[in-house]
A and B are shown apart, each in its own frame.
Chain A
Amino acid sequence: MASAPSKQYSDDVSVVMVLLDTNPFFWSGANNTTKVSFSSFLNHVISFLNSVLLLNQLNQVVVIATGYNSCDYILDSSTSESINLSLGNGKMPALCSKMLQKLEEFLIRDEQLSRENLPTGITSSLLSGSLSLALCYIQKVLRSGRLHPNPRILCLQGSPDGPEQYVAVMNAIFSAQRSMVPIDSCIVGAQHSAFLQQASYITGGVYLKPPQLDGLFQYLSTVFATDLHSRSFLQLPKPVGVDFRASCFCHKNTIDMGYICSVCLSIFCQQRKKCSTSDTKRNSIEIYNHHLLPVAASG
């Protein structure tokens, strides 16, 4: 007989944080690279949200828009305002029209934040920000009430990774790992995302890049709608193995042995006087050797 009741519901009650990539440069420039338009993407996502809500009355979905300059919550099924608008306006269910309304407002705000000049190079969306928002929300959920649902995060990402966000994203990933929140990733863009690949690998989530985007809903409902309870009985698409070898910061070569800065952990293939990443003096640069990592890494 269990003496102390767990703080978690016993089975499949979940709160799903959906991070929606709303990077305009991806969606408008994307027409040549991806097969799915923003509206049909939204169509699939809204159906997915509804089906999550259908599965359990206590289920909860929160949608966060990942914009180019900012990110924000655009839907929270737990707040009463999204429910009690009884039947909506005929064509559109309440939940959905509410979300579209918020999304539109968000895009206007996001646009106002952008600088005048055209973005150059990689136009990534603010993934680190929305991951952090999601984790904050989850912390709030975990700390409230006697029982809380099982949280998980689903990233619907299309834009390429933003290198300048690396540290922030990795911190978010580790924080998710610590609070045992899996990060699922569904890539709707043309390229794989190294960020999300790591995120899903580290947190034990599912990483998937659907080859057939017009069937997005099927992927979402078959793979990503699976609650954490059922995941222990099911085989889901396995995350691809991650290569643990490092590549040096100076030439981007994959190396087995190199020099590592003990302050910022930057790796170099040659010994140098000063760490180029953190300006640390050479004496704190130590030898990195991939082969001296424990065997577990290769198992």
Chain B
Amino acid sequence: MPQVKIIAKNFMDMVAALPTLKLDKLYENTFICEAVLRSLPPLAKKYALQLLYIEEPVTAKSMEEWVLPDGFSKHRVAIDRLIQLRVFIENPDGFSRKKETSYKLNPRFQVNLQNYTAHGGVLPRESMSSSITVRLPTAEELDSYALEQWESFLLQLISSGQIEKTTTSFSPSMMRIFQQGLVSQRDREGPRLTESGFQFLLMDTNAQLWYIIREYIINSEDRGVDSADLISFLLELSFHATGQAYNTSTLDEVQRSAVKDLADLGLIKLQQGRKESWFIPTKLATNLSVSLSDSSSRKEGYVVVETNFRLYAYSTSKLHCEILRLFARIEYQLPNLIVGAITKESLYTAFENGISSEQIISFLQQNAHPRVCDRAAPSVPENVTEQIRLWESDLNRVEVTPANFYDEFPSKDVFEGACDYARDNGGLLWEDSKRMRLVVKAEIHTLMRDYLHRQK
């Protein structure tokens, strides 16, 4: 799932962009170290692990010994990432005098992970002891709760106003922040989804979640909350056990306010006891750090596409229906089944909204019904995918390239020289040698002008 990877990577970029002091402070938390390690590319993880007990810096050269010729690009990526995230410290303690690059593991990171390997993974906080008799939701209840919360949030996001507002407690201003870029509020027309808004809807849940959370964190500074604190809490949250209840009193002020927001997103469920209140992380929360590496677990699909362009979606979700409506004509809606057809018209509306054929196809493929996936044949019939692409390319028959028009050349030689020059720069679009006219891409106009001046 490339989108999750990109967005999750963006999230880790956000972490990497934190100032050194803050980052080092984050590494005091074992869970952050763990989450950061897991977000690394596989090769980088291995490098971090092999230096776990080594205190002396290790030269870059000796690490390269291990790399096969095919793996050098991966090696570079891994090392770069390690340094960005300050997991590796380059040339520590004036070691650089030797003119040889060497690396050392971040000492805080090192100690934390050493502890981890010795003691194994532990939970961030004590869960509710079994002596307290409070009925906890079952796994299924929790899952459906999370899904419900998330979907109602999304529905509210894309069509603020229509849906019953009571479900979420996000302030309208907060909501507006999320909607930034996704929904455009034009005049009195009511909200309209933008291009990226449509694309957002076609992403899978993890990617959407990361998008929202990133927005949430970026805006935290405005609310007077330190983004590092928030990041650390979110990462920590993903190490809690799903379905266990944790006492809210163990949280600090920042976290307690964050918990309320997260409950609105369906990441956690709040439960009020007689004296104390508890929070129960859902699957959405515990999957957060898993999806940081790109091997995220896929959820069950529900869409069946037939070769005759008909589409059956086994879903009860209103949101699914809305998403399918983006590019297909919905014909019937039965209690657990949505029947529709992919038509030229429905696709044209999608293309107009800025959704690309590849996005639609990958959405259909990713959400294909398990029965369809198990077959040897492609999950979406090839004639359908081809036709979707063809219809899109139909729209793009005319390509607009900004260009400049040159004429009235003094001589044939100058004209031909100009043609060659334009061609060499990859900007020649059209030439008419008889009348000595020339069309060149606008981007090299300045170059052309300089060239022609020189000719005079």
Contacts and interface: CB of A to CB of B under 8 A. Distances in A.
A and B from one complex? yes
Interface of A: 1, 3-5, 9-13, 47-48, 50-51, 53-58, 83-84, 86-87, 93-96, 146-147, 217-218, 221-222, 225-227, 229-230, 232-236
Nearest to A145: B297
Contacts of B42: 11-12, 227, 229-230
Contacts of B155: none
A51 B49 contact: yes
Given A51-B117, A235-B65, 13 more contacts: A4-B378, A50-B117, A50-B121, A53-B120, A58-B290, A86-B126, A86-B127, A93-B119, A95-B120, A96-B120, A147-B297, A218-B50, A225-B49
Contact of B298 (A1, A146, A229, A236): A146
B354 interface: no
Contact of B43 (A13, A57, A95, A230): A230
19 contacts: A1-B358, A4-B373, A5-B379, A11-B42, A50-B117, A54-B121, A56-B293, A87-B122, A87-B123, A93-B122, A96-B119, A146-B373, A230-B43, A230-B46, A234-B66, A234-B67, A234-B71, A235-B66, A236-B66
Contacts of B362: 1
A11 B294 contact: yes
A51 B47 CA distance: 12
Nearest to A57: B290
Counting chain B CB atoms within 10 Å of each CB, which of A12, A13, A51, A227 scores highest?
A51
B165 interface: no
Contacts of A146: 298, 370, 373
Contacts of A234: 43, 46, 66-68, 71
A4 B38 contact: no
B365 interface: yes
A235 B67 contact: yes
A135 B74 CA distance: 31
A11 B295 contact: yes
B363 to A, nearest CB: 12
Given A3-B378, A227-B42, A233-B67, A10 B37 contact: no
Report whether over half of chain B's contact residues are helix, strand or loop; otherwise say mixed: helix
A47 B379 CA distance: 42
Contacts of A10: 294-295
Given A9-B295, A146-B373, A233-B67, A55 B120 contact: no
A288 to B, nearest CB: 37
A108 to B, nearest CB: 25
Interface string B382-416: 10010000000000000000000000000000000
A9 B296 CA distance: 8
B451 interface: no
Contacts of B104: none
Nearest to A48: B117
B361 interface: yes
A87 B126 contact: yes
A29 B117 CA distance: 30
B183 to A, nearest CB: 29
Contact of B120 (A1, A93, A226, A229): A93
Contacts of B298: 5, 146-147
Contacts of A83: 241
B67 A53 contact: no
Contacts of A58: 290, 295, 297
B303 to A, nearest CB: 14
A222 B120 contact: no
A260 B444 CA distance: 78
Contact of B373 (A5, A57, A230): A5
B264 interface: no
A235 B358 CA distance: 38
A57 B287 CA distance: 9
Given A4-B378, A5-B365, A225-B46, A56 B38 contact: yes
Counting chain A CB atoms within 10 Å of each CB, which of B123, B370, B380 scores highest?
B123
Contacts of A56: 38, 45, 293, 295
Contact of A232 (B50, B71, B121, B376): B71
Contact of B45 (A12, A222, A236): A12
B70 A233 contact: yes
A57 B293 CA distance: 9
Contacts of B116: 50-51, 54
Contact of A86 (B67, B68, B123): B123
Contacts of A11: 42, 293-295
B108 to A, nearest CB: 16
A234 B116 CA distance: 26
B283 interface: no
A54 to B, nearest CB: 6
Interface in B40-57: 42-43, 45-46, 49-50, 52-53
Contact of B49 (A93, A94, A221): A221
A235 B118 CA distance: 28
Given A54-B116, A55-B37, A232 B49 contact: no
Interface in B12-55: 34, 37-38, 42-43, 45-46, 49-50, 52-53
A86 B246 CA distance: 13
A226 B74 CA distance: 14
B297 A3 contact: no
B427 to A, nearest CB: 32
Contacts of A229: 42
